[in-house]
Amino acid sequence: MLKKIPKILSPELLKVLCEMGHSDRIVIADGNFPAESMGKNAIVIRMDGHGIPEILDAILELFPLDTYVDHPVNLMQVMPGDTVETPIWDTYQDIVCKYDARKEKAIGQIERFAFYEEAKKAYAIIATGETALYANILLQKGVVTD
């Protein structure tokens, strides 16, 4: 065990976060996301017993967001005509605001099918047990300056 490392971060996930370089991306996927088929060229990490907010908070303790892009955090847009509510996005915003000086401006949205295409290019995908709909989130790594 190590001190000051969030306990939710497994050795496998810590290794992946460490391996990632500037501008690499990681998806934290909800339980409905096709992580295995989207992640054929990525490392897929299973965290089925956990929700996205607790994972996001733990990752952002260690993981700098990219300062060279407008939106280093991206959410999957709700499909037009879908009446799904997305209260989990407010939770994500609160978490991102704790770790990034740009606050909510660091968060963007990507159309659903474009999100899938971006996910296929991710370095890693974390498959969670998150039950909220449209809860998928894409993070782009920045530079460690401390």
The residue from 24, 50, 71, 116 that is catalytic is 116
Catalytic residue among 66, 92, 123, 134: 66
22 is catalytic: yes
At residue 4's C-alpha, the angle toward residues 42 and 143, to 5°, is 50
68 in catalytic set: no
Active site residue 99: no
How many other C-beta atoms can be found within 10 angstroms of the C-beta atom of residue 91?
Answer: 17
Q: Where are the beta strands (DSSP E) in 9-129?
A: 25-29, 43-47, 73-76, 107-110, 124-128
How many angstroms separate the first and last alpha carbons of the chain? 23
Query: Mind telling me the catalytic residues?
Result: 22, 66, 116
